[in-house]
Amino acid sequence: MLVAGLFFATFLIVQQASVFCGLMMWTTSTLKNVGAPIFVVEERVEQINEINPLRDTDVSRVRSVSSVRWAMPLYSGIQRVRLQSGSFKTVQLIGIDAASLAGGPVRMVRGNLEDLRLPNTVVIDELAVTRLSEDKKNPIQVGDRFEINDIEARVVGICKAMRSFTGGPYLWTTYERALQYTPASRKMLSAVIAAPLDGVSPDAAAEEITRKTGLRAYVNRGFGEAGNDFNTSTVWWYVKNTGIPISFGTTVVIGFIVGIAIACQTFYAFVLDNLKHLGALKAMGMTNFRLSLMLIIQSATVGLIGFGIGLLATSAFAYAAIQNQQPPFVMPWQIPVVAFGVIQLICMVAALLGIVRLSLYEPAMVFRA
Amino acid sequence: MNGPAGNIVVDVRAAEKHFGDGPDRIHVLKQVNLQAYSGEILMLVGPSGCGKTTLLSAIAGTLRIESGEIDVFQQPLHRMSGGALTRFRAAHIGFIFQQFNLIPTISVAENVGIPLLIQGVRNGEALKRSRAMLDAVGLGDRWKEQPNKLSGGQQQRVAIARALVHEPPLVICDEPTAALDYQNGEIVLELFRNVARSPDRAVIIVTHDNRIFSYADRIARMDDGEIVEEKEQQHLQPPRFIHEHAL
């Protein structure tokens, strides 16, 4: 029962925290899929999925900054794909510079990225193969066609990509064609992606871009890696402005409460059940300190077993999640370490209750049957 | 000091103890005086509630008296701190409980070795000595088994082995036959007399089982918190002394 309680608590804490981290990772998927070192956005933008369009001339303004090696336009937006059957699917459309193809997918599975320069072409990610296929036995492949905003789109490549926060697949096309696929508005430029000159750090270049253009330049390094990192800013925006952390946090807290309730009750019951034996040991001359140590070790060992089984179950869940590509699952090393600490804390509280009960037990009681 | 059998090892003088408060306050020990001597088996007998278990607990150092004095091996238990009492019990006293109190999740030999481990003896040495002690009580071949695999009589023999394994000069037994039928009780007491008796060891048994009175060298009868009678017994057979090194 005790092991089961701790297993359950471990599973809830680790699994929910990892799914939360995975979800937060998904919020930054555009940053991972468009691998530019610097993202320049409108000055009030705090996260990558928030689009405050820039003027086309802002690309030239960024290029004019002395520490910038190159700067290219980027379109990013959610569009609807119309399949041959007439059904619609939502996709994350990325428009990149046709000449340089900067911001294109990193790993192509089939086809050539250069074929994006051909008319009405797109590169889709592997998720799109599943999502945009009308017949599972006959999945979409290079050469197939569908429509975006009544304009033909022909698949010229399939790539690997991280899944988007909205759950839709990624489609890459050229910037100009992305503007054609998208209903027109006055400003269409989502961001400018850039790279620093050799010998200049992305941070220094971003700082100079911000200073000289008034736009907001973020580096794209990874969560927690830099102060002006777009990943970090994006994740924190979601943490602060959505109910996601509260939702997952509640489950984690429930895991903790369930764990502590079951562990304390069961371990206390165990101590009560064995009070006569423990009392006999006390009568025979075992010190309270040694008995307490015994209970602590016993509790910690049970905690270790419960944690191990819980982690194993979470790993099985993670394996299934990774195979299915959902739910999102990312388990940084801090999660199991903290969860282990929490489980051991639960065990120590449970042991403490037993220790208090045992220390109040008079060894003479053992003579009273 | 010498007594009927040997040196005086337990000396209780004017021990007083109450339980409870107010109108429910019970006077369980009333100016009790009692001595136990090395080499003897002393039985404390009397009806239920007469205070014999309370007196035994006080002699064992697991219960403090309110007034009076208890010296065990010339050590004043009534003046010792809690820690000193714990150390004293570990070093000088072997316990046999009514319900055996063997730990069910460890082996018989590990149970027997507990007093040695409490004294800081290393695990391997404790196991070796435990097995030798189990041989002495006729359970040498059952050392690996868990206590619940044994009969009640066998469990009490394990408890005897546990009480004697660290060679304590005082053994305290609380109703050792209460959980056994007559036949097993007799076998256990016979064995106990053979292995526990030693010229430099005192054995105090609390019992109200009059079928085992014949195993005592001396009987102290209690009633209503007082020792009302003390008498020595003549054995038909002289007591056999088996020294620990012979075990």
Q: Is A116 in the same domain as A210?
A: yes
- What mean pLDDT do residues B147-170 have? 91
- pLDDT in the model for residue B4: 52
Q: Which of A281, A284, A288, A368 to mutate to test the interface with B (most CBs of B within 10 A)?
A: A284
Q: Evaluate whether residue A234 is within a structural domain.
A: no
Higher per-residue confidence, B178 vs B125? B125
Looking at A221, A253, A269, the residue that finishes a domain is A221
Q: Which of A279, A285, A288 has the CB atom closest to B89's CB atom?
A: A285
Q: Is B158 on the interface with A (CB under 8 A)?
A: no
Answer yes or no: do B118 and A369 touch at CB < 8 A: no
Query: By the CB < 8 Å criterion, does B87 face chain A?
Result: yes
| Nearest alpha-carbon partner for A363 in B241, B34, B63, B24 | B63
Pick the last residue of a domain from A157, A186, A221.
Answer: A221
B114 lies within 8 A of chain A by CB:
yes
Q: What is the CATH number of the domain that holds B239?
A: 3.40.50.300
In a domain, A326, yes or no: yes
For residue A238, being part of any structural domain is answered with no
State whether A369 and B98 contact (CB < 8 Å).
yes
- B114·A281 Cβ contact <8 A: yes
In a domain, A348, yes or no: yes
Q: How far apart are CA B221 and CA B210, in angstroms?
A: 11
Cβ <8 Å between A286 and B86: yes
Pull the structure tokens for residue A132: 């945009």
Look at residue B73 and tell me if it is in a domain. no
What is the 3 state secondary structure string of chain A? CHHHHHHHHHHHHHHHHHHHHHHHHHHCHHHHHCCCCEEEECCCCCCCCCCCCECCHHHHHHHCCCCEEEEEEEEEEEEEEECCCCCEEEEEEEEECCCCCCCCCCEEEEECHHHHHCCCEEEEEHHHHHHCCCECCECCCCCCEEEECCEEEEEEEEEECCCCCCCCCEEEEEHHHHHHHCCCCCCCECEEEEEECCCCCHHHHHHHHHHHHCCEEEECCCCCCCCCEHHHHHHHHHHHHCCHHHHHHHHHHHHHHHHHHHHHHHHHHHHHHCHHHHHHHHHCCCCHHHHHHHHHHHHHHHHHHHHHHHHHHHHHHHHHHHHHCCCCCCCCCHHHHHHHHHHHHHHHHHHHHHHHHHHCCCHHHHHCC
Nearest CB among A277, A287, A364 relative to B62 is that of A364
Mean pLDDT within B173-202: 81
Amino acid letter, A31:
L
- Chain B residues in contact with A288 by the CB 8 A cut-off are 86
Which pTM does this prediction carry? 0.77
Give the pLDDT score at A205.
95
Stretch A317-332: mean pLDDT: 87
- The domain tally of chain B equals 1
Chain A contacts of B89, Cβ < 8 Å? 283-285
Q: How confident is the model at residue A226 (pLDDT cuts 50, 70, 90)?
A: low
CB contacts, 8 Å: A277 with chain B: 101-104
**Contact call for B62 and A283, based on CB within 8 A:** yes
- Give me the count of residues in chain A: 369
Establish if A233 belongs to a structural domain.
no
- Are residues A180 and A66 part of one domain? yes
* Interface predicted TM-score (ipTM): 0.85
Q: Please report residues of A whose CB lies closer than 8 A to that of B98.
A: 367, 369
- The CA angle A121-A123-A129, to the nearest 5 degrees, is 120
Per residue in A117-127, pLDDT (tens digit) is 999 999 999 99
Any domain includes B1? no
H-helix or E-strand spanning residue B55: helix B52-60
CA neighbor of B110 nearest in space, from B126, B94, B96: B126
The rounded distance, in Å, linking the Cα atoms of A246 and A253 is 10
pLDDT at B99: 83
Percent over 90 (pLDDT), chain A: 66
Quote the domain boundaries for residue A72. 29-221
B208 contacts B199 by C-beta, under 8 angstroms: no
> Are A195 and A262 contained in the same domain?
no
Condensed to tens digits (0 to 9), the pLDDT of residues B228-240 reads 999 887 654 444 4
Q: Is residue A230 part of a domain?
A: no
What mean pLDDT comes out for the span A83-110?
92
Considering the domain boundaries, does residue B95 fall inside one?
yes
CB atoms within 10 A of CB B109: 24
Quickly tell me which residue has 């999502």 as its tokens.
Answer: A131
- Does residue B69 sit within a domain? no
Edge to edge, the sheet with strand B8-19 lists B26-37, B8-19, B67-72, B75-76
pLDDT score recorded for residue A366: 81
Cβ contacts (< 8 Å) between B28 and chain A: which residues?
none
Chain A nearest-CA distance from B238, in A, is: 31
pLDDT digits (tens, 9 = 90+) for B97-150: 888 889 998 999 999 999 999 999 999 999 999 999 999 888 889 999 999 999
Q: How many cross-chain Cβ pairs, A to B, lie less than 8 Å apart?
A: 66
Q: CA A128 to CA A116: how far, in whole Å? A: 17
Are A187 and A252 within one domain?
A: no
Q: How many domains does chain A have?
A: 2
Whole-angstrom distance, CA of residue A349 vs CA of residue A351:
5
Does A286 sit within 8 Å of B62, measured CB to CB? no
Distance from CA of A289 to the nearest CA of B (A): 10
Give the one of A285, A362, A366 whose C-beta lies nearest to B97's C-beta: A366
CB contact under 8 A, B101 and A362: no
Kindly report, residue by residue over A255-281, the tens digit of the pLDDT.
889 888 888 888 889 889 888 889 999
Identify which of B63, B93, B103 has the shortest CB distance to residue A277. B103
Q: Do B161 and B193 meet the contact criterion of CB atoms below 8 Å apart?
A: no
Domain stops at, among A159, A188, A221: A221
Nearest CA-CA distance, residue B101 and chain A, Å? 6
Measured CB to CB, residues of chain A less than 8 Å from chain B are 276-277, 279-288, 290, 362-364, 366-369
Same domain (yes/no): A71, A180: yes
Does the beta-carbon distance from B53 to A276 stay under 8 Å? no
A5 pLDDT tier (thresholds 50, 70, 90): confident
* Range in A132-141, B19-28, B211-220 the model is least confident about: A132-141
Task: Tell me how far apart the alpha carbons of residues B103 and B207 are, in angstroms, rounded to a whole number.
Answer: 23
Q: Which of A285, A363, A366 sits opposite B87 (nearest CB)?
A: A285
> Where is average pLDDT lowest: A230-239, A295-304, B190-199?
B190-199
Residues B212/B178, Cβ–Cβ less than 8 Å: no
Cα(A233)–Cα(A238) distance, integer angstroms: 9
Question: What does the pLDDT look like over A228-260, one tens digit per residue?
Answer: 899 999 999 999 999 888 988 998 899 889 888
- Dump pLDDT digits (tens) for A11-68: 999 999 999 999 898 999 999 999 899 999 999 999 998 889 999 999 999 999 999 9
Are A234 and A165 in contact by the 8 Å Cβ rule? The answer is no
The mean of the pLDDT values for chain A is 91
